[in-house]
Structure formats: structure tokens, C-alpha cells
Chain A
Amino acid sequence: MTRVHSALFGAMALAGLSFSSQAMAADWAPSKPVEFVVTAGAGGGTDIFTRTIQSIIQKNNLINQPIVVTLKGGGSGAEGFVYGKATPGDGHRLIFGTSNEWLLPLVAKVAWKREDFVPVAAMAFDEFILWTRPDAPWKTAKDYVAAAKAGNVKMGGSQSKDLDETLVKIFERAAGIKLIYIPFKSGGEAAVQLAGGHIDSNTNNPAENVGQWKAGQGIPLCVFSSQRLAAGPKVTDTMGWSDIPLCKDQGIPVDEYKMPRAVYLPGGVSPEMTKFWVDVLQKAFNTPEWKEYIEKTSQSTNFLSGKAFADYAAKDEERTRKVFDEAGWLLK
């Protein structure tokens, strides 16, 4: 009897809830706990991005449902996308990833296409830096390229046929060199291998290599960007992020290469659901906590949603497809 009663009461409360949120001009709001799916391993860049958003939303009460973070990083993140694809039309499951959403299907037999997901927003753009070991004979990116022309320079990176190796391919072509690429499981591993002097260089994101830089176990040569990084406090005694030269000024004509950190919904969700999450993420984007995260991880930030995000993805896919084609990686 009481159980029936409380169930009734719960349904009434739910109805009231959706009614009140309707009154707030948003047509949809989550009616049960929300799941944030991380398409990468624990402790990596995507995990931290996801948990930052989670903590901002919870601290500022941006939604009135709890958030559960699930790690689905198997198969370079393919696990998470396969998982997300399984619930079309469900606005309670957000997928957090990078450009792997549209790049992975090009090179590996995964069970989704770019169109299977609705892009919600790209919020942060992580930079790529050319790092080298401190005892290397070269001190600038120019010298590095000169040495690489002679051959046998080792370049480490995270995963294979992924963002790091794609950049290495673009870099090789631009500079007219050939590197020995060695894939590791993560950027963190590539940073430690560089610190031990087992590889000559890597293309880690700032946050992946900053610990080693501080300790003098890795030196930044140049950043693959069109403008210098934000200054911030000095990292070592003499250098800060803005002191890293641009690769294109060092004779490496790579204009810009960035990794978007983005949020997707499963395909088939209603426009109201997408709108709800764009609004929530926009609110999270405007908090001081988000600024702090961007500064701490030395990323650049820009809120892309709707058509702007779709255009960005299409342009990036087109550019990368060319690189993949030349490298012979495209799936037949």
C-alpha cells in the first residue's frame, strides 16, 4: 500500500518537475541520472576533461540529476562510441571524446560512422608541442630537422594512426624528413620514455609533458600553432609557455594542429535534448572553474556548437583524409 502510494507520489513529483522545467523555456530536461562516457583510459586528457565538466555542473547545480562517469576507453576509445551508439535517441548519455569520433572510422573497422552521433559542443583545443630529450645534440627545431634529414631520429607518440602519428606524418611531409615512429599506450608513457632518453622526441600535449619539463627531463622545441601559447606563470626558471617558438617560424610549415575536446549525443536525439545540453555546457564554459582548467592544462578554448562544430569537423576530416590516404591508412 505505502509502496503504491510512494510510487504515485514519485510520478507526481516527476510530472511536476518536468512541468516546472518546461516553464523555464527548456523543453526537455533529464529525468533520471545522466551518464558521461569517457572514450579514453583513466587519468588521460579526456578523462580529466569529462570530470572537470562533471564537477563544474555539480558545483553550480546546472542540472538536477546526478552524473555518473563511466570509463570506456577500450580500443582507442572505440568501446565508448560503440556503447553510445547502442542507445539512439537517449538524451541521458553523453559521450566525451576528441576528433577520434570522425577519425577512427576512417582507419579501423569500428561499428559506427560519423553521422551516428550528434555533435553537441567542442570546448577546448589541446595544443601539440615538439618535445625533445634534454641531452639531445640539437637545441632548436631547425637543428632537429637538420639532424632528422640524416635519418635515425626516433619519435614517440600515443597510439597508432591516431592524432599523434597523423601529426608526425604532416610534420614529416612539411619538413621533408623521415622519422622512426614508435607508438605507446599513452602520452604519459611517451613522456617517461623521453625523460629516460630512449626516444629522441615526442609530440605531447602541454599537460602530458609539463612535469618532465619542470624537472629538466624534456625540452619544448616548438608548438604546432599559428600563435604563441598564453603566457601564464613561468614553468622553469627561464621559460614559460609563451616562450616556446612556433614551428612555422622554425622552418616547419605546419600552420596549426589541434585536438578538439568535444561532447556528443547518440544519434536520433530530439533537437530539444541537444539544445538542453548545449545550454548546460555553455553555462559550464562561462564559469571561472573552466578558465582555471584551461590555464592549468595550457589549452586554448572556444565554444563551438551546432553548425560551427559540424563545419569544423567536416573540414578536419577532409584534411586528415588526405594525410591518411597518402599514408595508405584509409580503410578500403
Chain B
Amino acid sequence: MIENFTNLFIGFGIALTPYHIALMFAGVAFGLVVGVLPGLGAPNGVSLLLPLTFAMDPVAAIILLTSIYWGALIGGSITSILFNIPGEPSSVATTFDGYPMARQGKATEALTLAFLSAGFAALVGVLLVTTLAKSVTQFALLFSPIEYFAVFMLAFASFVAFGGGSPVKTVVSIGLGLSFATVGMDTISGSVRLTYDVPDLIKGISFLVVVIGFYGIGELLETMQEPLAAKPVATRLDWSAMVRTAREWPRYWVTLIRGTLVGCWMGIAPGGPTAASFMSYGIAKRFTPGNKPFGKGVPEGVIAPETADHSAGTSAMLPMLALGLPSSATAAVLLGGLMIWGLTPGPMLFKERPDFVWGLIASMYLSNVAAVILALASVPLFARVMSVPFTIIGPLIGVVCIISAWTVSGSSFDLLLLFIFGILGFFMKTLNYPIAPMILAMVLGDRSEDAFRQSMLLSQGSLTIFFERPLSATISILTLIFLAMPIVSLLRHRFTKKAID
């Protein structure tokens, strides 16, 4: 561990040159812009700039590209909060309470909370990477498809079990999400499923198109129904709201730490930032005392997903560098970059190119701080957007949605899907079907199906395999407890009611 800190200081020596610092700020600023535009997103932003780095030194190149990633992760929350359109898949959960806060005129507060929490969690994530580099790598190697499946189920259980609403409607919503995730080429059998001979469906249904449709277009349609919505939301533009929020922020330390831990766990496990943010939101909802109205604009509902998202994003760099295992689409692009620069991701990278690894880790401290500073500085600007009347901002959001859906893969078929999902989203909202479980099912459905079928191949069809290995058994039992909790509390509720009668 001491050795790690010595290495870190060498890393700071490498990262702290004016050239590298300039790259960090440039990367973060570009990332913020990329993150704000839904659909463009971090993976596209990073691959856009990848050719630029061919001629660069690998350390400078990775600093630039990861800075874009950090910027985009933070920027993704901005549109989630202001317009209910998640800029990044991992900021979907931020919309649940961030958007209601903004509608209530608390956009400044929501953005400030989101950025501060994101920065805090990212720093904890990097600290974890610094101190536990070696043991964490060994831990990640323990994960076979059996453990992956257990982790996905845990994320599922912690979100779904603690959600409110009608259980039947939740199941319908999950079923829809799972079937959308099934469309396209199947990894395990190599055949095409549910495409109805439409060539555009072979690639599957993009999760981002669904999200932009349901949240962006669906929300627009819903807002148009209410005459009141045409009125701008009064937003205070003063810096004092920011300062006050920042001062109140440490009060939520329980949510902060819990969310960060969930994120670190999912970053290393590796379940990825999107699953982490959903899981963290679900847990916060269940365990925050005082029956807070989650989903109607409570600060904890912004802090929980933001912390998990960012600690997962940063700590996931470890399995990427040390195992060559990307836990997100952006990490996969970065991995490609590593190989083009002539580096081999994998266990030996730490030994062969310590300058690269520790330079990168040191830069992660700095660029995350830079990202938070730049993002906070932009709060008054973005908060001001909320005071623009809906008649002007509404059509703009529509245009942004269409451009975003187009950018995902440049396919006009996706635009058709966008509107279908927008209309579906509108009806689901009107009929009170929860949308979040469907989104989670889409995120995890594909991967958990693969993991399940791989496990079944490994065990030759025996379901007990999930309880035979210590790690998966522990996670599976935790999943069962989570799932049982709502039932237990329901029974207890009925029982006490009867006792009173």
C-alpha cells in the first residue's frame, strides 16, 4: 500500500505538466458538451477524438480521453435534471428525483447536489483504485458467469423490490424491457431473434433510443397536456442558492457513503455504472428514514444514483487496465486505444508501464476535480434555461431528442423507433405503468440472460450451481433477502392490522 502511494507521487510528477493539465481541462470541457447532448454520449465522443491521439504519447492520449469520459459522466446529469432526458445511460436514475426538483424551481440545488456528490464519489473511487490495486484485481478474477448472474440479480432485486407501485404493472414493465433486450443477434445460440425480417432490427434495439423516446418524447407529450406547463419555472439565479446547498450537502453523508460503496462494488464486480445507479437509488429509497417521498424531488434521490454512477465509473478503470475487461462502452473504446498506442492491457501493464498506469491514476484525481469545478461554474447558465417558457424550450427539446436518437448509430429506422417508444411511454405514464423497471430490464436483460445461459452450460443444467460457490451463494442469498423484504413487511402489516381488529 505504501508502495502504491510512492507510485502515485511519481504519477503526479508525470501528470502535473502544463501540457497534461491543459489536456485535462480541454478533455473535461469537451466531455461536458458531449455528455449534455444525449445520444452523442461518452463512447461516441471518445471514439471521435481517438484518431487525434494516434500521434500522441500514450500518457497524454489516455489523459485526454479519460478526461472526456469524466466530463461526459458529469455532463450527462445536466439534461437528466433539467429536461428529464438522460445524457448518458448511467444518469437515467438521476431523472427520478432530479427532474421533479427542477420543476419545483430547485434546478440550482439539484445540479449542485449532483455535481458535488459525483465529485466526492469519483475521488473515493480513485482512492480505492490507488490503495487496493492488486487485491482488487485478484477479486475480479473470481467472477465467472455464475457470479455475474448473481450480481445482476442483486441489482435487479434491490431496485425492483424497493420500488413502489402496483406489482402487476411492474412485472408487465419488466417483461416489456426484457423482450426489447431480446431483439437481435443472440450471443449464445448465434441466431437472430424477434427481428421479423427487418434488417434494421438485427443490431438490436438501442437502449439509448428507448431512453430518449420514453423520457424525452414521452415527457414532451405529457407536458403538452397540461396548460400550466407552458409557464416558465421561476428559478433563482443567485449564487447563494449554490452556496447554501453546498453547506447543507454534508448532512446527507449516509446516502453519500452508501451510494459510493454500492458504486465501488459494482465498478469492480463489474456490473457497470448504469446498474450501480439503479441499485443505489433502490437501496436509498428503502433505507432512508422518515418515509421521504422519493420520485417527487428529494435530495437523497439525486445523491444516491450520482454517487454510485461516478464511483463505479472510476473504480471500473481497474478491471479495465488490469484485466482488459471493459465494464462500459466507453471503456471498450479506451481499450482499443491502448492497443493502438502499443500497450497491452492486462495484468502486466502495471509492471511494464508504471509511468502510464500511475500517470493515469494521478490524472484521475485532477481531472475529476476539474470536471466538478467546470460543471459547478456552469450551473447558473443551465439553471437559467429553466426560466425559458415551454413554448420555446419544448420544440428545442424535441429537436435535441431527434438529433440524439440519430447520433446513436446514424440510422433513420431509429427515428421511427424513437416516436413509437415516445408514444408508448406517454401511454405507460398516463396509465401509471412504472418506466424505470423496464429501463433496468433493458440494461441488464441481455447481460443477465447471457450469464444465466453460460452458467447453465458450465453446470450442465444444474440450478444449484448458484448456491454452491461461496461468492455467488452470498450474493444470491442477499438477493433473496431483498426480494423477501417487501413480502415480509406486507405480511407484518396485515398481521398487526388484524391484531388491532
Contacts and interface: CB of A to CB of B under 8 A. Distances in A.
Interface of A: 41-44, 47-48, 51-52, 54-55, 58-59, 67, 69-72, 74-76, 78-79, 82-83, 107-111, 154, 159-162, 165, 180-185, 188-189, 191-193, 195-196, 198-199, 207, 210-212, 214-215, 217, 296, 329
Given A189-B325, A192-B324, A198-B145, A215 B203 contact: no
A79 B190 contact: no
A48 B202 CA distance: 24
Contacts of A191: 324
Contacts of B144: 193, 196, 198
Contacts of B189: 160-161
Counting contact residues on chain B (CB < 8 A from A), the size range is 35 or more
Contacts of A109: 191-192, 195, 197
B148 to A, nearest CB: 10
B450 interface: yes
28 contacts: A42-B332, A43-B326, A43-B333, A43-B334, A43-B336, A48-B340, A54-B51, A55-B51, A55-B340, A59-B55, A69-B47, A69-B50, A72-B203, A74-B184, A75-B185, A75-B192, A75-B202, A108-B190, A110-B202, A159-B190, A160-B190, A183-B187, A192-B141, A193-B144, A199-B458, A210-B344, A212-B347, A329-B190
B458 A47 contact: no
Given A108-B192, A182-B454, A75 B203 contact: yes
Contacts of B232: none
Contacts of B184: 74-75
A215 B347 contact: yes
Contacts of B332: 41-43
B470 interface: no
B339 A48 contact: yes
A69 B49 CA distance: 11
A54 B199 CA distance: 28
B406 to A, nearest CB: 13
B323 interface: yes
Contact of A211 (B348, B457, B458): B348
Interface in B136-151: 141-145
B409 interface: yes
A198 B458 contact: yes
Given A55-B54, A109-B192, A211-B324, 13 more contacts: A43-B333, A55-B51, A69-B51, A74-B185, A79-B409, A82-B200, A107-B191, A182-B454, A185-B187, A196-B143, A199-B458, A214-B344, A296-B342
A199 to B, nearest CB: 8
B410 interface: yes
Given A74-B185, A74-B204, A79-B203, A51 B344 contact: no
B348 A180 contact: no
A42 B336 contact: yes
In this complex, the member of A41, A54, A55, A215 whose beta carbon has the largest number of chain B beta carbons within 10 angstroms is A215
The 5 closest A-B CB pairs, nearest first, are A211-B346, A74-B203, A160-B190, A43-B336, A161-B190
Contacts of A74: 184-185, 202-204, 409
A87 to B, nearest CB: 12
Contacts of A199: 458
B208 to A, nearest CB: 13
A55 B454 CA distance: 38
Contacts of B195: 109
A172 B334 CA distance: 36
A237 B458 CA distance: 33
A275 to B, nearest CB: 26
A214 B340 contact: no
Contacts of A111: 197, 199, 202
B124 interface: no
Interface in B177-203: 184-192, 195, 197, 199-200, 202-203
A69 B298 CA distance: 43
Interface string B165-187: 00000000000000000001111
A59 B332 CA distance: 25
Contact of B339 (A55, A70, A189, A207): A207
Nearest to B350: A215
B325 A192 contact: yes
B299 interface: no
Nearest to A35: B410
A32 to B, nearest CB: 16
A183 B190 contact: yes
A57 to B, nearest CB: 11
A52 B340 contact: yes
A160 B184 CA distance: 14
* Chain B CB within 10 Å, residue with most, of A67, A108, A162: A108
Contacts of B187: 159-160, 183-185
Most buried by A among B200, B325, B346: B346
Contact of A196 (B141, B185, B344): B141
Contacts of A161: 189-191
Given A108-B190, A182-B454, A42 B324 contact: no
Contacts of B203: 72, 74-75, 78-79, 82
B489 interface: no
A192 B457 CA distance: 18
Nearest to A160: B190
B16 interface: no
B460 interface: yes
A329 B145 CA distance: 25
B451 to A, nearest CB: 10
Contact of A42 (B186, B188, B333): B333
Nearest to A67: B51
A119 B144 CA distance: 39
Contacts of A217: 347
Nearest to B456: A182
B43 interface: yes
Contacts of B348: 211, 214-215
B141 A195 contact: yes
B344 to A, nearest CB: 5
A217 B141 CA distance: 10
B329 interface: yes
B51 A185 contact: no
Contact of B190 (A58, A76, A193): A76
Interface in B434-453: 450
A154 B188 contact: no
Given A198-B145, A214-B347, A185 B192 contact: no
Contacts of B58: none
B333 A211 contact: no
Interface in B362-419: 409-411
Interface in B26-59: 43, 47, 50-51, 54-55
